[in-house]
Amino acid sequence: MKPRAVVLAFSLAGSAWTVAAWSAEPAAKAPGKKAAAAAKAPKVSTAAVVEVPITFAPVSTAALTTQAVLARFEEFDRRLDTLRAHFVQSLNVEQTGMSSAVEGDVSYRKPEQLRIEHLRPERQTVAVDGKDIWIFRHATHQAIQSSLEDWKKADPTLNNLMQFGSYAKMLRSYEVSVDTGGARPELVLVPKEKGAAPLELRLGLDPETLFPDETRLQVGGLRVKTVLSGIVFNPRLEAATFRFTPPEGSDVFRNFKPPQIQP
């Protein structure tokens, strides 16, 4: 079998996942007699989702300060255990002229469990169970498995992807200021430790709750904008949501070592 090339360009909530391309021989095909079975979507728990609503005190009408935002983020950290939302995202790379737009759904559970379903332009599933990461391309029936730690080492911004319920902790690594000059307030984050490429992360804040439902990330020539909608705080998410089993007949690439991402 000839080497296959798999392309992934994903970013969400301030973290950029950008892999130009890779090629490898699949470790093995998933068990199955018919290749058509590979078209099946990964199984997800069908257990009922029970929402556990949480509410937040109204935002003060006084001038918004960094301290007020940090206090609200600490409240998010204490009370937010799971999250589900729809996202729309655009990505541009100045140096190469590369651009992409994706849309899908994301589910998250503390501390490091994540499932992302890309709906457009191509169906793709990303599942993280806290230990491993799986990426499945529905169109090509290819499944890639790697350790989460390897991905974190390869992508310096990946840790932010796991910060839905740890916002105050994340902010300790940044110089933080509030920009109220636009239509909506924004939190502006610049790393305290400067890297090779300049990085700025802007969190657009919901005026009523101050939850960061829009992010704009710039790392060197990489620009990523993500907008969350239909946000549900603390839905019941079963453990099976974050596990992944390759569909029958898939080409499976195990223990993949992702290349170092250079913004």
Q: Where are the chain's structural domains?
A: 4-253
Q: What is the DSSP string of 203-230?
A: EEEPTTT--EEEEEEEETTEEEEEEEEE
Residues 6+ apart with CB under 8 A from 250: 29, 30, 38, 136, 141, 142, 143
Q: What is the pLDDT of residues 99-124, one digit of tens each?
A: 999 999 999 998 889 999 999 999 99
pLDDT for 5-58, tens place per residue?
A: 222 333 443 333 333 333 344 555 555 544 434 334 434 333 444 455 566 676
pTM, full prediction: 0.73
- Look up the CATH number of domain 4-253: 2.50.20.10
Give the pLDDT of residue 106.
Answer: 94
pLDDT at 3 over 60: no
Region 232-239: mean pLDDT is: 91
